[in-house]
């Protein structure tokens, strides 16, 4: 990616003065650029004119009351919404100079570069080793057995799971505890070596200790990956995210540096939400 | 008097007594209640209670009597039996009328009886299984007294030949041999052919319906496939014998092969067609209940849809698919009409599906039709074959049930 | 570590092709299953529809005196091989009943033999070339006609192909099904009510459940062995009778009815039961007045499907002897009878070409009844389907 490119340029600014950007230093490279994104479930509009820039090797948190469209937006980034037949999308989601929604964009190739971790851990009904090695093998990232072993070990180490499972790699992934399963899913995602990892409330089904482990993990993973996470938990956003976007009723109300947003929110709605008046 | 007339009179008398019980019980209860005494139950409930205690014991007595009559061959005239039942009914009526008192829980007493009736209905299914087991085993044991079990299991010649002469007291039955291996070989051959047709077609159709098909195609295709399961087996048998078998002979002729008109291929293929819906419908249910998060997890890794199905969905559904296939095998082995009509009668130990072969079920039918003595070894051999068939299908069914239960527990699905 | 989209897409081409191939293969499988069905029905219609047509010949019948002892004397000699033997047989009887007819003659349409019938339909026939020529002549003269085959629906079985009909089998089926339903419906529903509404969850209940599932999967021929050994040999139920067949089929249908009734009972939401308990109903009252009426459509649907299954069943009936030759349908539950699938089986064993057609015709009648029954069940389910 072109690191000299400014985060924003004048012509990128949409007509409506949406608070979609941050007057940030240009040290962060752009990862995904979203312009005028609209999405409908049948006739219900779920996302309205979203504009947002997601920065490389940062954690961006999407917060907001339930049903505000944050998960739907997340799934636009790797086109998981394609799986729902009634969904219809308009607008630009740009990554690496390509329009993600373009006809000629292969959604399989996109997902190869934009991995995802889900709300509930969903390891495959295979061994721990197979869970991690399956996708890299299919993607031809590794072919030799030794490389594969190495890759699995590296991914499991990166996910902070290696020490716990190194002696039982052949046991089924489902035999692990919930928190371990979720880390296995993260290991599975990073083994593909994506650019972006999307996390859809990755800790909502987990206990507090597992949650803390995964939050630590996110902090470490951002050295290698761009992370976009949805959370219903504001404290979590404040703890792990560099940037935070506040969603409300399908719109982005405010998007800013997390510290700024939580100390001096620009919008009344944001302030009400983070101070707990609704949500 | 004719037994039929006697029965009619008995029924009428019992009905009359029942009506009498109903009205007597109700009027007594109403009388007590209108006198101002509080009662535990409604008058109608007392009435039904009296009816039940009038008819119940009487029917029980007559049923018991009938059973004794048939079983022990006891010589009780029907007239006396029915008269005794009616007396019991009258006693029941008097006793229960006496019971109609304010402090008697008629409703609870009645519901206990109803509950017992329902439970005994549930017992009938158990009796059926035991009935099958008992009838098969007792006759099979008689067969094994005549011919050794070992010879039956390992023998490779099945020629009941002159055994009926022995039963009729002529000849010594020496020529008869009951080695069931060729029959089971035929059964396995035809079952294998059927599964070679049914499992791929059924499974792949199920995959198409649950993973690819638009909902419109699905709503049409599912019931249409079910039609295949609803066609009577005798019809399939005719189709196999009249249409498919000659077709195979012709085709084999083109290839320079010699096929019998009773070849194993025709019944095998047609049986496979019949089993397709069993496999597809159960596999479809199982594949549908593989959680969607599993598919999403794979797609989110950049897998294609085909890879997701092949490497994630199908392996996850595998216990259910195997279970469906085992049920299919059990079905194919026990299938009778198709093989009776299209497969051969000649016990033939061969691996060539173009030759004629016979199966276990064909020999069972052959042994039990026709005018043979029931006591002959050939007739009894049907029960020995039935016993093995029962054992094999029982094991297949149980394994299948266990596998589907494991699948259900793993994914917490309730509709399977 | 970054790969560009172009790199990845390049590598993906091959995988996408494989993925698409899987889609086509699965679609083809479904198509193949559908093709089997179409071929099957086309074949049955092709073979069976001609059975509903029958050749009739216009002949002159001379009621002379010799015909009173030998019916053949009533007909022209060359007609004898081409008209049905049954026509010849009835002449003497007719004459004995109406002696006045002697000396008269009439011109009537009578049944042709099955050989003529088959020849006219273009099938294999044993007629000699001369006979064929004679038939062709009569066709030219308008003395041969194909008409709707009423005989097929008004007659019982017969060894004479053109005279054989399906009526006695239909009546036998109805009688057998009456016995089957009369036994399996009440027992099935009672068992299901007990298991769903009353039974404690203990080992005994589980044993019954496993047993029912197993019964549903036992080969049907084994039920025939049970019928033969227990009902016929032990209890002395008359062999070949609708009673024996119906009882055997009832045991086979029982699991189907139990399983569908349980599903219907389960689909009645617990809130209904709680509401009824709340107003002081006892358990039995709740079941009788609230749960059963709501579950009835589902129970009926399941029973009809079970009935249709029993109606097409042959193997156990062969074992209990219901493949009897029944020319005249009786309406007794204890006398020998036959049922439709057994009639089909018997006909399929006859070597004559005409019986192949009869068999397929019988199959069409049976399939029509079964498909209507199943369609009725589907309509019933659709009509009363309720979303809670």
With beta carbons under 8 A apart, name residues in chain B contacting A80.
296, 299-300
Q: How far is C356 from chain B (nearest CA, A)?
A: 8
pLDDT number for residue C205 = 87
pLDDT number for residue B3 = 65
- Our measurement of the distance from residue A158's CA atom to the centroid of its chain's CA atoms, rounded to an integer in Å, reads 17
pLDDT number for residue B201 = 96
Q: Does A16 touch chain C if contact means CB atoms closer than 8 Å?
A: no
The least confident of A111-125, B166-180, B324-338 is B166-180
Give the model's confidence band at C156: pLDDT under 50 very low, under 70 low, under 90 confident, else very high: confident
For residue B170, is pLDDT > 70?
no
Give the model's confidence band at A17: pLDDT under 50 very low, under 70 low, under 90 confident, else very high: very low
Q: Which of C30, C215, C237 to mutate to test the interface with B (most CBs of B within 10 A)?
A: C30
Give the model's confidence band at A274: pLDDT under 50 very low, under 70 low, under 90 confident, else very high: confident
Instruction: Give the residue from chain B lying closest to C208, CA to CA.
Output: B126
pLDDT number for residue B91 = 84
ipTM over 0.95: no
CA distance C299 to C372: 18
- Between B56 and C147, whose confidence is greater? C147
pLDDT number for residue A3 = 37
CA distance C310 to C302: 12
Instruction: For C219-274, write each residue's pLDDT tens digit.
Output: 999 999 999 988 888 888 888 899 999 999 999 999 999 999 999 999 899 999 99
- What are the boundaries of each domain within chain C? 50-149, 167-384
pLDDT number for residue C17 = 93
Number of folded domains in chain A? 1
CB C92 within 8 A of CB C70: yes
The least confident of A26-35, B346-355, C156-165, C368-377 is A26-35
CATH number for the domain including A48? 3.40.50.300
What is the span of the domain harbouring residue A250?
18-274
CB A122 within 8 A of CB B296: yes
Q: Does C23 touch chain B if contact means CB atoms closer than 8 Å?
A: yes
In a domain, A11, yes or no: no
Packing angle of the helix pair B265-288, C5-48 (nearest 10 deg): 130
- Closest by CA to C95, choosing from C118, C141, C64, C73, is C64
Give the model's confidence band at A26: pLDDT under 50 very low, under 70 low, under 90 confident, else very high: very low
CA distance B311 to B318: 11
- Closest by CA to C209, choosing from C222, C218, C196, is C196
pLDDT number for residue C350 = 87
> B90-104, B115-129, B363-377: which has the highest mean pLDDT?
B115-129
Instruction: For C277-306, write each residue's pLDDT tens digit.
Output: 988 888 888 999 999 999 999 999 999 999
pLDDT number for residue A13 = 39
For residue C87, is pLDDT > 90?
no
pLDDT number for residue C36 = 94
Give the torsion through C-alpha atoms of B280, B283, B284, B286, to 10 deg. Answer: 170
Instruction: For B20-50, write each residue's pLDDT tens digit.
Output: 888 888 888 888 878 777 777 777 778 888 8
Instruction: Say if the Cβ atoms of B201 and C29 lie within 8 Å.
Output: yes
For C58, residues 6+ apart whose C-beta sits below 8 A from its C-beta are C107, C108, C109, C142, C143, C144, C145
CA distance C263 to C260: 5
Q: Which two tokens stand for residue A6?
A: 């400014």
Q: Give the Cα-Cα-Cα angle A54, A56, A59 (nearest 5 degrees).
A: 70
Q: Which two tokens stand for residue C292?
A: 């059963």
Look up the CATH architecture of domain C167-384. Orthogonal Bundle (1.10)
What rounded mean pLDDT belongs to chain C?
Answer: 88
CB C111 within 8 A of CB C164: no
Q: Which two tokens stand for residue C258?
A: 């139990």
In a domain, A141, yes or no: yes
Give the model's confidence band at A14: pLDDT under 50 very low, under 70 low, under 90 confident, else very high: very low
Instruction: For C171-184, write each residue's pLDDT tens digit.
Output: 999 999 999 999 99
Q: Which two tokens stand for residue B347?
A: 């016990």
Give the model's confidence band at B414: pLDDT under 50 very low, under 70 low, under 90 confident, else very high: low
What rounded mean pLDDT belongs to chain B?
Answer: 85
CA distance B218 to B285: 13
Q: How far is B409 from chain A (nearest CA, A)?
A: 13
Give the model's confidence band at C35: pLDDT under 50 very low, under 70 low, under 90 confident, else very high: very high
In a domain, A10, yes or no: no
For residue A184, is pLDDT > 80?
yes
For residue C163, is pLDDT > 70?
yes
With beta carbons under 8 A apart, name residues in chain C contacting B369.
318-319, 321, 323
Q: Does B232 touch chain C if contact means CB atoms closer than 8 Å?
A: yes
For residue C19, is pLDDT > 90?
yes
SS3 C384: helix
| Phi, psi for A54 (deg, rounded to 5) | -110, 130
pLDDT number for residue B162 = 53
In a domain, A13, yes or no: no
| Whole-number percent of chain A with pLDDT over 90 | 58
What rounded mean pLDDT belongs to chain A?
Answer: 86
CA distance C268 to C295: 7
CA distance A148 to A131: 12
The mean pLDDT value for C336-345 works out to 92
For residue C313, is pLDDT > 70?
yes
pLDDT number for residue A229 = 95
pLDDT number for residue A9 = 38
pLDDT number for residue C94 = 81
The mean pLDDT value for B149-155 works out to 85
In a domain, A8, yes or no: no
Task: Give me the DSSP letters along C77-144.
Answer: GGGTTTB-HHHHHHHHHHHHH-GGGTT-EEEEEEEBPHHHHHHHTTS-----HHHHHHHHHHHHTT-E
With beta carbons under 8 A apart, name residues in chain A contacting B291.
122
Instruction: For A187-224, write each residue's pLDDT tens digit.
Output: 999 999 999 999 999 998 889 998 999 999 999 999 99
For residue B75, is pLDDT > 50?
yes
Q: Which two tokens stand for residue C189?
A: 């529903």
CA distance A261 to A259: 5
| Phi, psi for B42 (deg, rounded to 5) | -75, 155
From start to end of A64-193, where are the E strands?
87-95, 98-99, 114-117
| Whole-number percent of chain A with pLDDT over 70 | 90
């Amino acid at each position: 990616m072109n690191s000299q490119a400014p985060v924003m340029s004048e012509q990128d600014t949409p007509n409506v003065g949406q608070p979609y950007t941050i007057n940030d230093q240009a040290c962060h490279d752009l990862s995904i650029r979203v312009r005028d994104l609209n999405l409908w479930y049948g006739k219900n509009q779920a996302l309205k004119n979203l504009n947002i820039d997601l920065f490389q090797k940062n954690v961006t948190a999407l917060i907001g009351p339930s049903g505000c469209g944050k998960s739907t937006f997340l799934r636009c980034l790797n086109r998981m919404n394609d799986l729902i037949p009634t969904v219809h999308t308009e607008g630009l989601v740009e990554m690496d100079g390509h329009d993600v929604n373009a006809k000629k964009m292969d959604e399989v190739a996109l997902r190869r570069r934009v991995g995802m971790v889900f709300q509930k851990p969903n390891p495959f009904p295979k061994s721990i080793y197979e869970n991690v090695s399956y996708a890299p093998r299919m993607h031809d990232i590794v072919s030799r057995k030794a490389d594969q072993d190495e890759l699995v070990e590296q991914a499991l180490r990166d996910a902070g799971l290696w020490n716990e499972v190194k002696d039982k790699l052949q046991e089924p992934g489902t035999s692990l505890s919930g928190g371990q399963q979720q880390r296995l899913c993260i290991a599975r995602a990073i083994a593909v070596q994506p650019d972006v990892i999307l996390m859809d409330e990755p800790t909502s089904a987990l206990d507090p200790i597992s949650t803390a482990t995964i939050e630590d993990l996110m902090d470490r993973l951002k050295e290698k990956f761009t992370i976009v996470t949805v959370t219903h938990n504001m404290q979590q956003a404040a703890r792990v995210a560099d940037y935070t976007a506040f969603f409300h009723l399908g719109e982005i109300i405010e998007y800013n540096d997390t510290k700024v947003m939580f100390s001096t929110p620009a919008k009344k709605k944001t302030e009400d939400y983070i101070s707990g008046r609704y949500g | 008097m004719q037994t039929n007339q006697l029965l009619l009179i008995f029924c009428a008398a019992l009905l009359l007594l029942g009506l009498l019980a109903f009205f007597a019980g109700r009027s007594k209860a109403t009388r007590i209640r209108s006198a101002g005494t509080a009662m535990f139950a409604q008058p109608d409930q007392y009435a039904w209670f009296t009816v039940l205690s009038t008819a119940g014991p009487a029917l029980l007595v007559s049923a018991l009597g009938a059973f004794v009559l048939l079983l022990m061959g006891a010589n009780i005239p029907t007239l006396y039996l029915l008269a005794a039942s009616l007396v019991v009914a009258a006693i029941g009526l008097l006793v229960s009328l006496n019971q109609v008192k304010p402090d008697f829980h008629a409703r609870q007493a009645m519901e206990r009886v109803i509950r017992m009736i329902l439970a005994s209905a549930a017992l009938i299914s158990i009796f059926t299984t035991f009935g099958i087991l008992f009838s098969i085993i007792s006759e099979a044991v008689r067969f094994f007294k005549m011919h050794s079990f070992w010879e039956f299991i390992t023998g490779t010649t099945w020629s009941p030949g002159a055994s009926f002469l022995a039963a009729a007291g002529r000849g010594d039955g020496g020529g008869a041999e009951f080695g069931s291996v060729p029959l089971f070989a035929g059964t396995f051959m035809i079952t294998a052919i059927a599964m070679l047709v049914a499992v791929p077609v059924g499974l792949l159709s199920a995959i198409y319906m649950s993973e690819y098909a638009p909902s419109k195609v699905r709503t049409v295709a599912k019931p249409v496939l079910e039609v295949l399961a609803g066609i009577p087996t005798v019809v399939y048998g005719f189709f196999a014998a009249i249409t498919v078998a000659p077709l195979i002979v012709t085709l084999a002729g083109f290839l320079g092969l010699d096929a019998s008109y009773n070849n194993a291929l025709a019944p095998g293929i047609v049986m496979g067609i019949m089993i397709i819906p069993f496999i597809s419908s159960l596999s479809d249910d199982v594949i549908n209940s593989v959680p969607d998060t599993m598919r999403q997890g794979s797609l989110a890794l950049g897998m294609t849809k085909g890879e997701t199905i092949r490497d994630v969905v199908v392996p996850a559904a595998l216990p259910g698919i195997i279970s469906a296939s085992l049920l299919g095998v059990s079905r194919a082995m026990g299938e009778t009409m198709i093989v009776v009509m299209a497969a051969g009668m000649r016990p033939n130990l061969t691996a060539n599906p173009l030759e004629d072969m016979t199966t276990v079920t064909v020999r069972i039918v052959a042994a039990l039709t026709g005018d043979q003595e029931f006591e002959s070894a050939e007739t009894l051999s049907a029960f020995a074959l039935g016993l093995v068939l029962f054992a094999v299908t029982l094991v297949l069914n149980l394994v299948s049930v266990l596998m589907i239960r494991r699948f259900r527990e793993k994914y917490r699905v309730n509709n399977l | 570590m970054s790969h560009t989209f172009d790199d990845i897409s390049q590598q993906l081409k091959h995988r996408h092709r494989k993925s698409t191939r899987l889609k086509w293969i699965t679609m083809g499988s479904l198509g193949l299953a559908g093709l089997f069905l179409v071929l099957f029905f086309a074949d049955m219609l092709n073979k069976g529809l001609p059975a509903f047509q029958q050749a009739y010949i216009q002949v002159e019948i001379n009621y002379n005196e010799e015909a009173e002892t030998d019916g053949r004397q009533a007909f022209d000699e060359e007609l004898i091989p081409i008209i049905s033997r049954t026509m010849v047989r009835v002449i003497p009887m007719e004459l004995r009943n109406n002696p006045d007819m002697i000396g008269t003659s009439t011109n009537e349409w009578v049944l042709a033999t099955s050989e003529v019938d088959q020849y006219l339909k273009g099938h294999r026939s044993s007629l000699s070339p001369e006979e064929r020529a004679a038939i062709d002549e009569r066709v030219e003269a308008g003395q041969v006609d194909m008409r709707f085959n009423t005989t097929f629906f008004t007659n019982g079985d017969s060894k004479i192909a053109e005279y054989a009909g399906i009526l006695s089998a239909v009546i036998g089926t109805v009688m057998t099904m009456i016995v089957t339903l009369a036994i399996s419906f009440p027992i099935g529903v009672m068992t299901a009510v007990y298991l769903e509404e009353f039974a404690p969850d203990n080992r005994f209940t589980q044993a019954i459940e496993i047993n029912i599932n197993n019964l549903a999967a036992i080969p049907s021929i084994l039920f025939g062995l049970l019928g033969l050994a227990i009902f016929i040999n032990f209890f002395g139920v008359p062999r070949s009778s609708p009673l024996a067949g119906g009882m055997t089929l009832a045991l086979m249908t029982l699991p189907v009815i139990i399983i569908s009734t349980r599903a219907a009972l389960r689909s009645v939401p617990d809130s209904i039961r709680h509401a009824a308990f709340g107003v002081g109903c006892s358990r039995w009252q709740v079941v009788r007045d609230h749960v059963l009426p709501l579950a009835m459509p589902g129970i009926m649907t399941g029973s009809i499907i079970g009935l249709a299954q029993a109606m097409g069943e042959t193997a156990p009936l062969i074992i209990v002897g219901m493949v009897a030759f029944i020319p005249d349908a009786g309406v007794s539950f204890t006398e020998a009878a036959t049922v439709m699938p057994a009639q089909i089986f018997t006909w399929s064993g006859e070597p004559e070409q005409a019986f192949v057609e009869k068999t397929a015709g019988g199959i069409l009648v049976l399939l029509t009844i079964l498909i209507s029954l199943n369609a009725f069940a589907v309509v019933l389910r659709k009509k009363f389907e309720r979303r809670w």
